[in-house]
Amino acid sequence: MSLIEKIFGKKQKETETGPLRLEFNKLPDLISAQYRKNRDVSAPVIEKKYKEIGSSVRDIKDARKELLDAEAIADANKRAEKLGDSNRENVAHNLNLIIEKIRVPSNKDPKNALVFFEDSKATMKNVLDNTRKSQLYIKALYPTEFENINLRLANLESLLDELYEMIRDDKNKIDAFEKLPQHMENISQKEKEAQLSRKRILALEEKYESAKTDLVNAGSDIAKLRNSSEFQKANDLENNIKALENKIYAVNSDIRRLFTPMSKALSRMEKQDKNEMHVLSPENRKVLIMLKDDPASIPEKELGPFLDMLEKRIQSRDLGLKDPMYEKILRQIHKLKETTAMSDLREQSKMYSSDIETLTAELSRLDIYREMDLLQTQESQYRDSIGLILSNMEAEHKHLEEIEEHLEISRSILNSEVKEIFGQDAEIVY
């Protein structure tokens, strides 16, 4: 049983039609077998044509000798004979190129026959190009030999063309044979790339599912933590702290309102200080700034001297205000100096601040927020990881699509080459 029968199975009945089914991995052996089959069929015909070509070359060798031995026509003058001799030498030299270069190969392979044909045709063209002018002299002086040479060259060229006609159908097969290994390598490489890409996609899908599970678990842990008694306690502490902070803000607002009636006077004092009309001491300037920004932060020992200074300025009427405004400010100064309104508000603020410190210390001893921060950080990381995985999956899917497109093109090219080699449709099983 032949190799082809071993791989394909025995020949099917003539009535059965359909493409050859060829396994991709066995294709090199099948192609080699088919190549040998084509070569064995072509070899006897090529060998016969080689013999005819070899005989034709020998005829040209004889014609070359006859030209060198020939005498010029009787009526040729000396000058013509001299020119004829030099051109005869040129023709003989070029004919010798044909004799030396056009040697039929011992191998009857169609591929070698094609190379032999192309090289021989190139040699013939060079010889004819090199002797075109010389042949005019030969024709005039040695007409019989010229005719003989032309007939022999035409015969050789005809035999070479006949050889090409015999192997022309094999040329496409030879091209396909030569291209096949590279195309098969391309397909194998693309299949490996596609396999690696699919593995990467599977790995990314596993990571995606794992990250989704982690995200769900983190969300569940956060929900449990929020529903825990410790979290509720921490939340209550925070709410109490915020309530106290709001009370401190209200106290500070009340303190600010104590100085609202004297706002115009304070503004005039600031302008006069900047314009150096009435320069304040560094201590009073500091208090003035604090009154504008945060009156609650002014120490009592610094506020008293400032109010004394302000009272003198009001009494001296040097701030450019109307009399009713001076009186209003003066009453407010007396209220601040003679009542405990300011100190009472300060005490309230200190008490609220003390309570905030106590609650904050208690809150800091709880681990619940640290646990919540950790879980929320993990949740954010899982969410970011999922986004990155999805992006990588999309890129990998696109990469796989590109590989599969190239693979489809390469397989189509391979199918065409296999069809050319076997002379019928073939289905390649990958």
Burial of 291 (0-12, 13-18, 19+ CB in 10 A): buried
pLDDT of residue 76: 61
- Whether 243 shows a pLDDT value over 90: the answer reads yes
**Among 324, 347, 366, which residue terminates a domain?**
366
Shared domain for 173 and 36, answered yes or no, is yes
Q: Has residue 392 been placed in a domain?
A: no
Shared domain for 317 and 250, answered yes or no, is yes
- How far apart CA 280 and CA 302 sit, in angstroms, is 14
Q: Has residue 309 been placed in a domain?
A: yes
Shared domain for 170 and 46, answered yes or no, is yes
Q: Has residue 257 been placed in a domain?
A: yes
**30-61: pLDDT as tens digits:** 777 777 777 777 888 899 999 999 999 999 99
Shared domain for 140 and 267, answered yes or no, is no
User: What integer is the mean pLDDT of 291-302?
Assistant: 86
Q: Has residue 300 been placed in a domain?
A: yes
Shared domain for 38 and 127, answered yes or no, is yes
Q: Has residue 189 been placed in a domain?
A: no
Q: Has residue 71 been placed in a domain?
A: yes
Shared domain for 258 and 345, answered yes or no, is yes
Full residue range of the structural domain in which residue 112 is found? 31-177
Shared domain for 292 and 171, answered yes or no, is no
Tell me if 130 sits within 8 A of 76, measured CB to CB: no
Q: What confidence category does residue 13 fall into, taking pLDDT thresholds of 50, 70 and 90?
A: very low
Shared domain for 134 and 252, answered yes or no, is no
Report the candidate in 65, 142, 148 with the shortest Cα–Cα distance to residue 99: 65
pLDDT of residue 424: 67
Lowest mean pLDDT among 27-36, 186-195, 230-239: 27-36
Shared domain for 257 and 150, answered yes or no, is no
Shared domain for 163 and 286, answered yes or no, is no
Shared domain for 236 and 170, answered yes or no, is no
Q: Has residue 374 been placed in a domain?
A: no
pTM: 0.52
Q: Has residue 278 been placed in a domain?
A: yes
- Whether 168 shows a pLDDT value over 90: the answer reads no
Shared domain for 173 and 35, answered yes or no, is yes
CATH code for the domain of 142: 1.20.120
The total of structural domains in the chain comes to 2
- Whether 84 shows a pLDDT value over 80: the answer reads no
**Among 366, 390, 420, which residue terminates a domain?**
366
**Among 136, 154, 177, which residue terminates a domain?**
177
